[in-house]
Amino acid sequence: MSSRGAASGEPGRAESGAAESGARESATAEWYRHFGTVDAPGNSECYAAWSVGIAEDPELIRRIDEWPHNKRQPLLMLAAARFLGAHISPYPGFRAFLDHHWEDVSRIVLSRATQTNEAGRSATLLPSLAQIAAAGGRPLALIEVGASAGLALFPDRYGYEYDAGAAVTRLVPAGAAPGSYPVLGCALSGPVPLPAALPQVVWRAGIDLNPLDVREPDDVAWLEALIWPEQDFRRERLRRAIAIAQADPPLLVAGDLNDQLLALASQAPSDATLVVFHSAVMAYLDAAARDRFRGTISRLAVERGCHWLSNEGHTVIIQADGSSVVPEMDESRLRGRFLLLHNGNPVAIAGPHGQSLEWL
């Protein structure tokens, strides 16, 4: 079975890249066509047009198929071109850009990965974080696994605008000047337990296979390139979140989350409530690695009173072993959204970029 990136644009996987005989498109061409006709429309008309253009361009498909399988994903290739300066344009202009810059596009594709860091997801995690802090009567120590640049580690430094239709609830970080932080908008439905104030975070740390460094201009440029061309509001939000992280860079450990979690958790202050959380990460792990992670979480829950928040979608990648990233809820109910679990129990369905929160 072939599978592809979901609307969040994060990596998927197609079958063999080898061209099939007859009129059928190669798997890579199919992957780009799917991205261009299913994932991109509504998010980026430019990416939709470019991706369909690539799907219908056998020479480009041949070049893309020279890359290792996990490097052929549309978002990675398109972000590499954007990183190198490709502007919104009709496909022929983009094609000419690729011809001029193909070696550089290849170099970026081979050296980078899709590591979209979406600060907006903090809006969907915040109510649960505040509940945990209130129940424990202590401030929070946060560990994000698969943290990218760690922008979700600052839920106490962002502003929030929760729109429940009849009423809008605004939360702002204490003492921060307006305009100095991103304001994360989120449409609510159901009885979302909104806090009266932001929870206190006394310690924050992350783990990533390849942590991005907000002090490195190239890493910042890559984070910007991963945002789809027309989504200026996300770019603006990213810039503000990066400025906050630059002022107080988070502790980020390089390595596999399963190898690093226990050692990092042992560094968290014991007088704070530890929360381990993740968004858009479990799809990168196979079932055995996810089981190992859950085992570690169970151990931390018993030994440390640790809480676990999982914010994941079904279809970012379908694993080769056929296992589901979110077995608790079927895809027809999620429809491209994420399931938020607190200690393994479903609590909400969240917009993949934090734009909505439906409490269950």
In the complex, the residues that contact ligand SAM under the rule CB under 6 A are 10, 113, 115-118, 121, 146-148, 152, 207-210, 256-257, 278-281, 284-285
- The least CB distance from residue 165 to ligand SAM, in Å, is 26
Q: Would you state the structure tokens that stand for residue 6, as one six-digit string?
A: 């979901």
Name the minimum Å distance from CB 306 to ligand SAM.
18
Judged by beta carbon, residue 34 or residue 278, the one nearer ligand SAM is 278
- Shortest gap between Cβ of 147 and ligand SAM (angstroms)? 6
Pick between residue 26 and residue 310 the one whose CB is nearest to ligand SAM.
Answer: 310
**One-letter amino acid for residue 352 of the chain:** P
Based on CB atoms, which residue is closest to ligand SAM, 52 or 152? 152
Q: Which is nearer to ligand SAM, 138 or 353 (CB)?
A: 353
Q: How far is the CB of 232 from ligand SAM (least distance, A)?
A: 18
Query: Mind spelling out the 3-state secondary structure of 306-342?
Result: CEEEEEEECCCCCCCCCCCCCCCCCHHHHCCCEEEEE
Q: How many CB atoms lie within 10 A of CB 215?
A: 11
CA atoms of 234 and 67, how far apart (whole Å) = 29
Pick between residue 116 and residue 310 the one whose CB is nearest to ligand SAM.
116
Cα–Cα dist 306/90, whole Å? 51
Q: What is the pairing mode between strands 338-342 and 307-313?
A: antiparallel
Q: Given 3-state DSSP classes, what are the helix, strand and coil percentages for the chain, each rounded to the nearest 5?
A: 40, 20, 40
CB of 116 to ligand SAM, least distance (A): 5
Angle at 127 between CA 118 and CA 341, to 5 degrees: 75
Report the relative pairing of strands 251-254 and 183-189 from DSSP bridges. unpaired
- DSSP E strands in the chain: the ranges are 140-145, 159-163, 168-171, 183-189, 201-208, 251-254, 273-279, 307-313, 338-342, 345-350, 356-359
Least distance between ligand SAM and beta carbon 11 (Å): 8
Q: Which is nearer to ligand SAM, 30 or 208 (CB)?
A: 208
Tell me how far, at minimum, the Cβ of 68 lies from ligand SAM, in Å: 16
With CB atoms as reference, the residue minimizing the distance to ligand SAM is: 146
Q: Which is nearer to ligand SAM, 98 or 113 (CB)?
A: 113
